[in-house]
Amino acid sequence: MLHPRIEARKLLRELRIFDLPVNMTDLCSSLGIDIFFDTLEGLDGYFIYNSANGKYVIVVRDSAGLGRQRFSIAHELGHIRLNHGLVGFSVTGQVARDARLETCANMFASELLMPKLLLQRFGFLTPARIAEICQVSGETAAIRAKEMGWA
Contact positions vs Zn ion (CB under 5 A):
102, 105
**Rounded to the nearest whole angstrom, what is the least distance from the CB of residue 103 to Zn ion in the complex?**
9
**Rounded to the nearest whole angstrom, what is the least distance from the CB of residue 106 to Zn ion in the complex?**
8
Indicate the DSSP class of residue 97.
P
**Rounded to the nearest whole angstrom, what is the least distance from the CB of residue 87 to Zn ion in the complex?**
7
Strands of the chain (E only): list them. 34-38, 45-50, 55-61, 89-90, 93-94
Can you list the pairs that 89-93 forms with residues at least 24 positions away whose Cβ atoms lie under 8 Å? 93/42, 93/43
**Rounded to the nearest whole angstrom, what is the least distance from the CB of residue 55 to Zn ion in the complex?**
19
Q: Could you tell me which of 100, 124, 50, 44 has the C-alpha nearest to residue 76?
A: 44
The SS3 assignment for 47 reads strand
Helix axes 66-81, 4-14, angle to 10 degrees: 100
> Would you put residue 135 in left (φ > 0), alpha (ψ -120 to 50) or beta?
left
Closer CB to Zn ion, residue 24 or residue 125? 24
